[in-house]
Structure 1
Amino acid sequence: MDSKVELEAKTAHFEHVSQVPVDPKAGDAALEVLGDSRIHYEVTIEDDHRVLSKIDRWIMPIMLVVYSLQQLDKSSVSYTSVFGIIEDTHLVGFQYSWLTSIVYLAQLVWQPVSSYFLVRLPIAKYLAVHVFMWGVCVASSAAAHNFQGLIAARFFLGIFEATVAPCFITITQMWWRRREQTMRLSMWYAANGVTGMFGSLLAWGVGHISGSLRPYQVIFLFIGCISLGVAPFVWLILPDSPTKARFLSNDEKIVAVERLRANNQGTESKIWKWSQALEVLIDPKSYMWFAFMFLCALPSGGISAFGPLIIQGFGFNQFTTILFNIPFSAIQVVVTLSSAWISTRIKLKWPVVFFLTLPPIAGAIALLKLGRTADLRNRLLGCYYVISFYTGIQPMLYTWASQNTAGHTKKLCTTGLFFVAQCAGNIVGPLLYTTAEKPYYRRGLIADLICWSALAGLVLVAVVYLSWLNARHAARRVALGKPAVVIDRSLEKFRGTRTNADEKDATNDQAFDDLTDLQNEDFIYVL
């Protein structure tokens, strides 16, 4: 604990900093409390732990709840698939598939616009409005009695949900060090699995209700109203940036941004920089991330939409099908969090991503080879659960791409491009499955197998390219009189600032100058 004298000195020091005249629109938002990017402030381990604990308590619950809700709302049509929505609304051919694909088509359309608004508008308020509006869309789906009504509601659902994952990646970057980001991002992504378990149980319970409303209508109404109730809490609790957090004192705001210096990613800026947007288009990494996410999202989109129908094809009734979908979601939670823990420990992403492609490849091959006779039910179910390892890939790709990008406009444009790829994959994925191919769904499974195999090969290419970029930055540091080899402290356990610096520590003087990863020679790419 600091002595009284030390605390008074520290407070006086921070108060002096806050009086430095700063143009709040110049550079990164962190300069509002730091004053100058090149002035470093000591942060003790105790300071770090205290502020990190506050951040986790205030930010993470909101992120977990909101991400769970968007997944629940998005997946609501999947839960209704085994309770008669296809028959009740007279869906034929690919119409059911389009109820999933249209969500991602809408997101594909809205992503570029959303990326611009995320720079220009307060991120928390922007998110809160979207949570409210997607709740309206889901609840309104209960009034749809045909394909036209359902497709319209699902289109607007996609528009309003388009912002949530880009928002959360941006929030994760601006609040946590790179070492901490992997686990935090995986935690809110693992909410998908929790939602899968809750949603399956919800659908199972609602399916037993008899009344004037059809089961699918009750599911839509219940899920939509939950989002409507959560939206005001997002508006009131979630801050727009560390410098705007009401739960942090002025001293703690300085700690919150100073501890992020080693990230070399800044927090946020409200200036849209066209030069950074252009860099996204000429940076080969952008297309690498695009390919990664498309190859990951295509299988995910198909299995998310047709998962219950695939299980039903093994010979189970509608209620047993819903219950057997719960372990798939449980495995997703375990795989996602375990992968994040391993990645954090070894400080590498590529071995984890590569390994996660292998079980789904094996599971898909088995489902293609096995028949669908009653005596194979348990084996088929086991193969389906093995495929669930693919769910751990996406959060790894989220963190891998976000941790290798700097410059606020570039970060948001890269995230937007990333989610364009995700939307494209999720549009195509369900369309490769059709109810006419039940119970084998061969075309969809073959496409998934190809994607996971290509993804494994691309991981190895990414390692070589990122290693080359690190070598190029090392040469630039030498030319500027800096050490060629520096330790990336953002991936290490926090051990205080300045007093623990040595010759292998990067100075990170440009950390809050809103430079891109290609511009800042101190930036270290994560393999």
Structure 2
Amino acid sequence: MMLIKLGRSPDEVITVSPADDARILRRIDLALLPLMLSVYFLQALDKATLSYASIFGLIDDTDLVGDEFSWLGSIVYLAQLLMQLPLAWALVKLPIGKFTSAMVFAWGITLTCMTWAHNFGQLMTARFFLGAFEACVGPAFVAITQMWWRRREQTLRIGSWYCMNGLTWVFGSLITYGLASIDSHLKPYQIIFLFFGVVTVAVSGAMFFWMPDSPTEAKFLSDEDKVLAIERLRNNQMGVMSREWRYAHFFEALRDLKTWLWVIMIFCISVPSNGISTFGPLIIKSFVTDPYKTILFNVPVGLSHVLAVSLSAYASMKWKVKGPVIALLCIPPIVGFSIMLHFPHDTDHRAILLAGYFCLSTFTGITPLIYSWSAQNTAGDTKRKCTSAMVFIGSSAGNIFGPLLFTPDEAPAYSRGLRANIVFFALVLLLVGITSLYLKHLNSDHAKRRVALGKSAIVLDMSLETAEEENGVQPDDVRGRKAFADITDLENEDFVFVF
């Protein structure tokens, strides 16, 4: 137990004042978020280099035919799918900061080596290893977020590092535009691979030295502040890092219905997500013929992605719900895909097609909400890591399938992929309703268990409140005793599910 290492009993409830809470939260944000934002930005950018490279001649220079380019988009996620369960074990057993930085270093080296890939086989090999090493980042960052932040704070933090996907479109497009303009014996896409690969290697070194493996090992906190940093998480009722793999937690994650609801939900949103990410520049190119202008169109698209993620994360935190916000975010993409299906992809319809394309931007707000929704409703160290792995398996499966709905032969309309994506967004709407009802049922079941044990049926979930709001409530010592036990959400009758 982390508190025992610091000379405190986990049953001892310690008062954290609003001032101390705000001070420690600020220190945590300043110490961890810059590293997490930088790494996730590069992870998103390193995958996006393929779509940028397609505009600057990669397909022709490497003699890609048929659906080979589509497979280059999918193979990254096939590797990530295969890596998730081994990574779940590694994230429980190994120091999370050092392990993650080693994986970042390995993918930076892989991307650098892609500079000299000249055919489909070499590109596929490099993209596979790129995906295998990058597979760690999402699950590790969810685990780090659970380890350091209250449930109220987690959605904004997950949203903040997921915003880097949108900033990739903005700064990645601008940087790519500049790199592609360099006069060199290297091809523009080779310069892109080389530059971002070297930058990723450099960032991995910073992460190795600065990312702590747990709150007890954080150099930026005093011993007293470490105690307070852990105590602020008591109301999460999610347990703490244990470094012990529990098979009972693993099998409970497999049996848990809500886990599979999130897996299917993330699959349904990942299909259109990666399809548009991979083929988006080619769709724009169908009515904006200049490749440099095509790249620059990504800037406002990226800004709209950042806006969608930020506003949806804030709304979810403010309203203390996830399902209704996700449902609202599904509507604009359905409208956007319908517009792009209805109008011919030519310069005469550029304005309406661009409007439809911008409608798709809200889909980027859905994925981080699903990540945080599943993370906030799962307790027990092994179960948290396994549930996260399964969610990312669903994401990887959807990302594999997404680009295969689009093929260059169907350019410029890509009607099959657009129709399929409408169906997937409709399925997300349905799954949101089912999941919300199931979580409400679990809360009711836990209330009955509390009554049977002589406790109050109604408990205040202060993990979704501000420190000031929590400060006015008398701590419940009985409920707090299980907060740092390594037990699951289904085992702990005091756990409150959020929907």
Shorter-chain TM band: over 0.9
Aligned to 1:477: 450
Residue pair 2:271, 2:401 contacting (<8 A) in 1 also: yes
In structure 2, C-alpha distance between the alignment counterparts of 1:329 and 1:136, rounded to whole Å: 27
Q: Secondary structure at the match of 1:153?
A: helix
Q: In structure 1, what is the Cα distance between the partners aligned to 2:282 and 2:370?
A: 28
Equivalence for 1:520? 492
| Superposed displacement of residue 39, structure 1 | 1.3
- 1:42–1:496 CA contact under 8 A, matched in 2: no
* Alpha-carbon distance change, 337 to 421 in structure 1, aligned in 2, over 3 angstroms: same
Residue correspondence of structure 1 range 103-502 to structure 2 within 5 A: 103-495=76-468, 500-501=473-474
Q: Is residue 240–residue 380 contact of structure 2 (8 Å, CA) maintained in 1?
A: no
Query: What one-letter code is carried by the residue in structure 2 that aligns with 1:109?
Result: L
1:299–1:448 CA contact under 8 A, matched in 2: yes
Q: Distance in 1 between matches of 2:478 and 2:327?
A: 30
What's 1:56 paired with? 29
* Distance change in 2, residues 1:465/1:213 (3 Å): same
- Structure 1 residue 374: deviation in Å? 2.1
- Work out the percentage of aligned pairs sharing the same amino acid: 46
State the AA in 2 paired with 1:274: Y
For the residue of structure 2 that corresponds to 1:507, the secondary structure is helix
Q: Per-residue CA shift, 1:158-190, capped at 9, x if unaligned?
A: 010000000000000010000011111100100
The Cα shift of 1:388 comes to 1.1
1:264 and 1:512 in contact (8 A); partners too: yes
Check whether the contact 1:44–1:497 (CA below 8 A) recurs between aligned residues: no
State the AA in 1 paired with 2:492: N
What are the superposed Cα offsets for residues 39-87 of structure 1, whole Å, 9 maximum, x if unpaired? 1112111111111111011011100001001111111111111000001
Output aligned runs, 1:57-72, within 5 Å.
57-72=30-45
1:12 is matched with none
For residues 49 and 450 of structure 1, do their structure 2 counterparts lie closer, same or farther at Cα, with a shift above 3 Å needed? Answer: same
Listed one character per residue, the Cα deviations across residues 193-250 of structure 1 (whole Å, up to 9, x for unaligned) are: 1122111112222222232101110000001000011111101101001111111111
3-state secondary structure, aligned to 2:479 = coil
Question: Partners in 1 of 2:416 and 2:8 — Cα distance?
Answer: 58
Cα distance in 1 between the residues matched to 2:478 and 2:358: 45
Letter of the structure 1 residue corresponding to residue 196 of structure 2: I
Pairwise CA distance, 1:36: 2.5
Q: Deviations over 1:379-416 (max 9, x none)?
A: 10110011111011001101001000000000000000
Question: How far off is 1:523 after superposition?
Answer: 0.4
Deviation at 1:483, TM superposition (A): 1.1
Inter-partner Cα distance in structure 1 for 2:262 and 2:4? 30
Cα distance in structure 2, aligned partners of 1:436 and 1:497: 58
With the length of structure 2 as denominator, give the TM-score of the two structures.
0.98
2-side partners of 1:121 and 1:162: how far apart?
Answer: 16
The answer to whether the Cα contact below 8 Å between 2:41 and 2:167 also exists between their aligned partners in 1 is yes
Letter in 1 for 2:268: L
Structure 2, unpaired ranges of 5+: none
AA paired with 2:489? D
| 1:271 alignment partner, SS class | coil
- Using the TM superposition, give the Cα deviation of residue 267 of structure 1 relative to its aligned residue in structure 2, in angstroms: 2.6
Contact 1:314 1:381 in 2 (8 A): no
Report the Cα offset of residue 506 of structure 1: 7.2
AA matched with 2:386:
C
5+ residue gaps, structure 1: 1-27
1:321 aligned partner, one-letter code: T
Q: CA deviation at 1:447?
A: 1.3
In the TM superposition, structure 1's runs of 4+ consecutive aligned residues that sit over 2 Å from their partners are 28-37, 206-211, 495-500, 505-508
What count of residue pairs does the alignment treat as equivalent? Answer: 499
Deviation of 1:499 after TM superposition, in Å, equals: 7.2
Task: Determine if contact 1:34/1:254 at 8 Å carries over to the other structure.
Answer: no
- What is the match of residue 41 of structure 1? 14
Q: 8 Å contact 2:323–2:436 — kept in the other structure?
A: yes
What is the CA-CA distance between 1:498 and the residue it aligns to?
Answer: 7.8
Is residue 348–residue 526 contact of structure 1 (8 Å, CA) maintained in 2?
yes
Q: Which of 200-209 and 426-435 deviates more?
A: 200-209
Q: Aligned partner of 2:123: which letter?
A: L
Three-state SS of the structure 1 residue aligned to 2:372 is helix
CA distance in 2, matches of 1:512, 1:244: 18
Point out the more displaced range, 314-323 or 253-262: 314-323
> What SS is found at the alignment partner of 1:76?
helix
